[in-house]
Structure formats: structure tokens, C-alpha cells
Chains A and B, each alone.
Chain A
């Protein structure tokens, strides 16, 4: 494998992780000031802060590795949807607190497994970012998992909302375990795990919590993927239009 192949795989991989963190962080930040209780407002903001922080590390790393002078903001604010590489799961709208929590939980159960593996990546920068992020995503998983249990095993209404949320969102989860040339290149170089290897751990984490929540993992109907190569749902365009507004409206300005 040439240095160029490896380099471009690393850039793509970092964009996938960075965009996924950024889009999810952005979604969580939409809650600020509107959560069901004050403590939860602060907790959602905390997770959003962590995730946007992870996004900054990944995007900065992607830009440096690429070597074309794109920094984190160039990457975040000046790419259109078809260049965004996030999972479809995280761009799904907040809907209500239950859907937000289900989305978060499905993602966290994946990112904990991933970051634990990436922490021993052959690439020291990747390992460094993962080692820092893993502590935070473990906390996120605990938090979202606790809410899944509370809401699943709460009232009839809350249980119905959570069942609906998992039903709606499950179709987007397979994407997290997909691999293409990017992952295969990095797996061969010992830089990233084979995504499929993360599946068993994810299922175990998800099933354990769902069982406690008196829910079960729904069968996947109409599996959706494509975010990792820039094919998104309708929701991402609106998110980007809002997020990128100032940078687009005032090109070249410093903020």
C-alpha cells in the first residue's frame, strides 16, 4: 500500500468520525434551554460539548493529514452534504427527548467499543484522540443507558415512545458496522479495527440495557446506509444550512 493510499484513507476515516461527532453534537445543542428539566439541560449540553470537542480533534487531524490547508472550520463550514461523511443515525432529528436518548444510546454503545479499540491504534495521533474521547463517551453511554432504562421501564406512555424510537432508528444502525476500502486499508495497517468486529460488543451493550428497560432490539426494516460516502437523508441539508449560515453569508470574514 502506498503512503498516498494510507494518507487518503486516514483523512476519510477522520472525516467520518469527525462529522459523526459534529452532527450529533449539533443535534444535542439544539436542546439547549428546552430540556425536560434543568439538570438534563446541563447534561445534554455537556455531551454536546464533548462531541463537538471530539469533532474538532478529528477534523483538525483530517486537515493536517490531508495537507491542503483546510482547518477544522474550513471542513465543518465549507462542505456541502455530499461531502459530509457522518452516519445517517446521528443526523436524524431530535423529535422528542425519547428519540434523542435512543439515538444517543445506539451511537454511544458503538462509539465506546470503537474508541476502546482505537486507543491502541498503530497511529499515535488516532490513539491519542481516542484515549481522550473514550472516557467521555463511556460517561455518555452510562447517561443515555440510564435514561433508556428509566423511560422504557417508566410509564406506559414513555415505554411506547421508546419502543417507537428504537423502531424508527434501528434501520440506521447497520451503517456503523460497514467497511469499504477506507476501513480495510486502515485495518490492514493496524490503525483501525474491522467495523464488523464491533458488532458483537455493540449488540451485547444494547441488549443488556434494553432488557433492563423491558424493551427489545427491533428487527431492522428498510436498512438505510450511505452517510459514510455522502448519501444522506433529507435532514442533513437543513442542519448544514443553519450551521453554516454565517460562513456562507460572509465569505472570507474572520469570526
Chain B
């Protein structure tokens, strides 16, 4: 998902658990089991804190990097209504990034540190945003599939054991489902439009379907630490369960639109009530996650450029704030002398 880098093997068998206090851990786990929310000042195991920092910050980075592929079409949106809707959507994603960075900060890291990790390429973000947006249809497809997949993953996170994260997710999920409907509506308009528009919609689905399935992360038997995260109630469903839910929900939507899912092995199993689908190309997933996807370099470059180009602005704002402070302090002193 937006945090799929977490369970990519061999990522993280390295999270150390140094502060082992069996009694505190036992009480912590009891609270988690009782569905109580853990708050920033509560005791928590180091591993729990670290996992959350990584998960929340990857999620935040994904929101921010995700602004780029969609932002690519704001200036080319085909109507004024679409232009406003897309701009507002991308703005929402930036807002999600903000809440999530704040949620991560409650765990004792600073936003600057996290941003630095993103810019240096150390931090991960969702593989999906390393694919290009080539046509207007991609704006519809991203809303429909990418926001749709995000919802599958994030609705359970609204019940995450960590309070600030769960609360941020509640707000975010409301907006994501709006994005998803909006995206589906764009695709529907195209699918019911001219033959060229229909072709645009199908081409887009062809390109985004498999990357969307990869958003849920590696399959359960390859996933590094699902079990611990389930115990901590950071995760509620496995990657494969969520992926299956997504496929089951999405295939009928594609059928309704008259679009073809690009998977010759896709079929409905009447016995299980689920769709069976073909094998995901995990080597592509690994490549994209490692940095060799179609747009990884462009995305990081764009983030770095915005940051570097903005350096003089941030420095000026800081310098101005300092001048203000020292002027105010000088005034206070003069005032104090005047009263004395």
C-alpha cells in the first residue's frame, strides 16, 4: 500500500527491540487487545514506535509524491469544473501529507528529518507514484483504482491502535472516498464518450491495473512482519486479503464501464464468491521499489528541485521572523525602561 516498502523482504528484520520490560509490554499488549488507543505519552515498545514512524512517514511521503503525477494534468484539465476538482484533490493529498507528518511528529521525529529522508532517497513511498500519467484518463483511473486501493487499506487503519494515526486516517478516508467516486466518474464519462475517449480509458486501465494490485505489497508468504503488526493492531488484514477485497470490488465496476481488465486469467469462482486473478510480476514491483521504475528519478528530482528552489524563501521567512522578534524584544525593553 502506501507503506508497502515496510514489508518488502529483506527490509527489516533489523528493527531492534532494546527496551524490553516484560511487565510494561504485557500491560501495553493488554491495552491493545482491549482496543484501547495508545497515545503519544503512553509507554510503548521501541519496535512499535519505530514501525509506526516508518509506516506513517512512508504514508506521508506517498501523499506528497503522489501530488506529482496528478499535478501533471492540472494545467491541461479539459473543463473548468474538472480543473477545480483536480486541483482540490491534489491539494487534499498535500493536506493528508501534513496531518500524517504531524501524526509522525507525536512519536518524536521532526518533519524536517523525515523530509530529508525522502529527498535523499532513503525513505520509501508507494511504488504506484513512480508510474507516468500519460493521458487525461489516468486522472480518472488514479482516482478510481489508486484512491480505491488506498481506501481498502486505510479504512481498517481508522481503528489502528495508535490514537493520532487512527484519527488522521478517519479524516483522510472521508476525502479518499470522495476522490474515488470522482475518479470513477471521470472514467465513466470517457467510457461512455467518443471511441477515442473510450480507447483512452482502456489504455489507462491497461497500464494501471497491475501496478494498482502491487500497491497492497508482497504476498503474505513473502511479507516480513505482518504477524507482529497484527498483534499490535497496526495492521488488521493481510496484504493478500486486502488485494482480494479490492479485486472483488473493482472487477464489477470495470464490467459496468465496459472496460476490460488486462488479465486473461481473471475469472469468477462461484464457489468461493471471489475473483481469481493472474500472477503479479513481483520482479517489476521489486524494481520499482528499488528505484528503477519509470519515474522514480523524476519524482525525486521534482521534490528536490522544489525544496532547493524554495531554500531562499524559507531562509528569508526565518530571517524576517528573527528580525521581528528582536524588534519586539527591543521595544519591550524600551517600554520597561520608560516605566522604570
Q: Which residues of A contact B (CB under 8 A)?
A: 22, 26, 29-30, 32-42, 45-46, 48-49, 52-53, 55-56, 59, 72-73, 76-77, 96-98, 149-151, 153-155, 157-158, 161, 242-243, 245-247, 250, 252-255
- Near A by CB (< 8 A), chain B positions 59-96 give 64, 67-68, 71, 74-84, 87-88, 90-91, 94-95
Chain A contacts of B315 at CB under 8 A? 154-155, 157-158
Q: Contact at A37–B84, with CB atoms within 8 Å?
A: no
Q: Which residues in A have their C-beta under 8 angstroms from that of B194?
A: 250, 252-253
Would B196 and A37 count as touching, CB distance under 8 A?
no
Which positions 15-74 of chain B face chain A at CB distance < 8 Å?
64, 67-68, 71, 74
Query: Which of B5-13, B224-232, B239-247, B304-312 lines the interface with chain A?
Result: B304-312
Known: A97-B313, A154-B315. A42 touches B320 (CB 8 A): no
**By the criterion CB–CB under 8 Å, are B76 and A245 in contact?**
yes
- Interface SS, B side: helix
Q: Which residues of B contact A49 (CB under 8 A)?
A: 84, 87-88, 91
Q: Tell me if A247 and B306 are in contact (CB < 8 A).
A: no
- Please report the C-alpha to C-alpha distance between residue A38 and residue B305 in the assembled complex, in whole angstroms: 14
- Assuming the contacts A38-B98, A42-B91, A53-B84, asked whether A33 and B75 have C-beta atoms less than 8 A apart, the reply is no
Known: A32-B71, A52-B83. A38 touches B97 (CB 8 A): yes
A32 touches B90 (CB 8 A): yes
**Contact flag A56-B80 (CB < 8 Å), given A45-B94, A151-B313, A154-B317:** yes
- A residues less than 8 Å from B305 (CB atoms): 34
Total A-B pairs in contact (CB under 8 Å)? Answer: 140
Is B316 interfacial (CB 8 A cutoff)?
Answer: yes
Q: How far is the CA of A151 from the CA of B76 in the complex (A)?
A: 31
A sample of 12 cross-chain residue pairs with beta-carbon separation below 8 angstroms, ordered by A number, consists of A36-B306, A39-B98, A41-B67, A45-B94, A48-B87, A49-B84, A53-B84, A56-B81, A151-B316, A157-B316, A158-B312, A250-B197
- A158 touching B67, Cβ below 8 Å: no
Select from chain B the residue with minimum beta-carbon distance to A101: B313
User: A60 to chain B: closest CB distance in Å?
Assistant: 9
Contact A38 B94 (CB under 8 A): yes
**B312's contact among A48, A153, A155, by CB below 8 Å, is which?**
A155
B323 touches A (CB below 8 Å): yes
B193 A97 Cβ-Cβ under 8 A: no
Query: Are A246 and B78 in contact (CB-based, < 8 A)?
Result: yes
Inter-chain pairs besides A149-B320, A246-B78, A254-B189, 17 sampled, C-beta below 8 Å: A29-B87, A30-B75, A32-B90, A34-B306, A38-B98, A49-B84, A52-B83, A53-B84, A56-B81, A72-B80, A150-B317, A151-B313, A154-B317, A155-B319, A243-B75, A245-B76, A250-B194
Most chain B CB inside 10 Å of its own CB: which residue of A26, A36, A39, A46: A36
Q: A55–B80 contact, CB under 8 A?
A: yes
Q: By CB atoms of chain A within 10 A, which of B68, B80, B91, B189 has the most?
A: B80
CB-CB under 8 A for A250 and B196, given A45-B90, A52-B87:
yes
User: Is there an interface contact between A41 and B94, defined as CB atoms closer than 8 Å?
Assistant: yes
Closest residue to A250 on the B side, CB-wise? B196
Determine the chain B residues whose CB is within 8 A of the CB of A76 once the complex forms.
80
* Contact for B79 among A38, A73, A155, CB less than 8 A: A73
Given contacts A30-B75, A38-B98, A96-B309, contact A255 B316 (CB under 8 A): no
Say whether B329 faces chain A, with CB atoms less than 8 Å apart: no
Contacts of A53 in B (CB 8 A): 84
A254 to B193, CA, bound (A): 7
Establish whether residues A242 and B75, one from each chain, have CB atoms under 8 Å apart when the complex forms.
Answer: yes
Residues in chain A near residue B323, CB distance under 8 A: 153
Q: Chain B residues with Cβ under 8 A from A245's Cβ?
A: 76
Bound-complex Cα distance A53 to B101 (A):
30
Q: Please encode chain B, from 112 to 130, with 1 for each CB lying within 8 Å of some chain A CB and 0 for all others.
A: 0000000000000000000
Taken together as a complex, chains A and B put the C-alpha atoms of A40 and B78 apart, in Å, by 26
A255 to B82, Cβ gap below 8 A? yes
Taking CB atoms, residues of chain B closer than 8 Å to A42 are: 91, 94-95, 98
Q: What is the bound-complex CA distance between A246 and B136, given in angstroms?
A: 8
Q: Does B330 contact A (CB under 8 A)?
A: no
Q: Are A246 and B76 in contact (CB under 8 A)?
A: yes
Instruction: State which residues 181-206 of B face A: CB under 8 Å.
Output: 189, 193-194, 196-197
Closest A residue to B111 by beta carbon equals A38
Measured CA separation A35–B196 after assembly (Å):
35
Closest to B65 in A: A33
Interface positions of B from 294 to 314, Cβ below 8 Å from A = 302, 305-307, 309-314
Cα–Cα, bound, A56→B136 (Å): 21
By a CB distance below 8 angstroms, the chain A residues around B90 are 32-33, 45
| Interchain CA distance A77-B194 in the complex, whole Å | 19
Contacts of A161 in B (CB 8 A): 312
Q: Roughly how many angstroms separate A101 CA and B305 CA in the complex, as a whole number?
A: 19
What's the nearest-Cβ distance from chain A to residue B63, in Å?
Answer: 10
Query: Please, how many angstroms separate the alpha-carbon atoms of A73 and B75 in the complex?
Result: 14
